[in-house]
Amino acid sequence: MAFGGGLDDKTEVMSEINMTPLVDVMLVLLIIFIITVPVITHSVKVDLPRADNTPTELKPDTIALAVTDNGVIHWNETLVTLEELELKLQAAAQQQPQPEIHLRGARTVAYEHVAQVMAAVQRAGIAKLGFVTEPSN
């Protein structure tokens, strides 16, 4: 009666799987999961501040400046002189947020008149100046 498992006979193939290493690996993995799961689910209770997610955008006003053919300046369709324009621009520059200036120049106006308005806007310290044009057909 031999307990050797039949290794003496060279013709027989061993048909059994050794389960001991597989059981050892499974036990090690089980121990690792048992140790790490409470650490993962553990959290500290903190009373967090509440905030709403509505944006508070203040849209700046838009001031439309127009320079006609003969150099006349219009502030939102109101006729103004260059001195009045500078005073109004200085007052507008103090607003928070600063208004946007949309400048329209007539097609045949002398560049000097448009340049004077641009210089007045720059002297007042207004950061946003845009030119309004009509698309060509």
pLDDT digits (tens, 9 = 90+) for 40-68: 666 778 887 887 777 777 788 899 999 99
Does residue 65 contact residue 102 with C-beta atoms inside 8 Å?
yes
Q: Using an 8 Å Cβ cutoff, are 117 and 81 in contact?
A: no
pTM, entire model:
0.57
- CA–CA separation, 32 vs 2, rounded Å? 40
pLDDT band at 10 (very low <50, low <70, confident <90, very high): low
User: Comparing C-alpha atoms, which of 79, 89, 85 is closest to residue 126?
Assistant: 89
Domain residue spans in the chain? 62-131
* Tokens 């993995």 sit on residue: 29
Helix (H) or strand (E) holding 28: helix 20-41
Provide the CATH topology of domain 62-131.
Nucleotidyltransferase; domain 5 (3.30.420)
Sign of CA pseudo-dihedral 76, 80, 83, 84? negative
d(Cα 76, Cα 126) in Å, to the nearest integer?
17
Identify the band that residue 124 occupies on the pLDDT scale cut at 50, 70 and 90.
Answer: very high
Mean pLDDT of the chain: 85
Q: Where does the pLDDT of residue 1 fall: very low under 50, low under 70, confident under 90, or very high at 90 and above?
A: very low
Q: Which two tokens stand for residue 7?
A: 């290794």
Residue 122 contacts by C-beta under 8 Å, 6 or more apart in sequence?
129
Q: What is the pLDDT of residues 63-109, one digit of tens each?
A: 999 999 999 999 998 999 999 999 999 999 999 889 999 999 999 99
Give the Cα separation of 8 and 54 in Å (integer).
Answer: 82
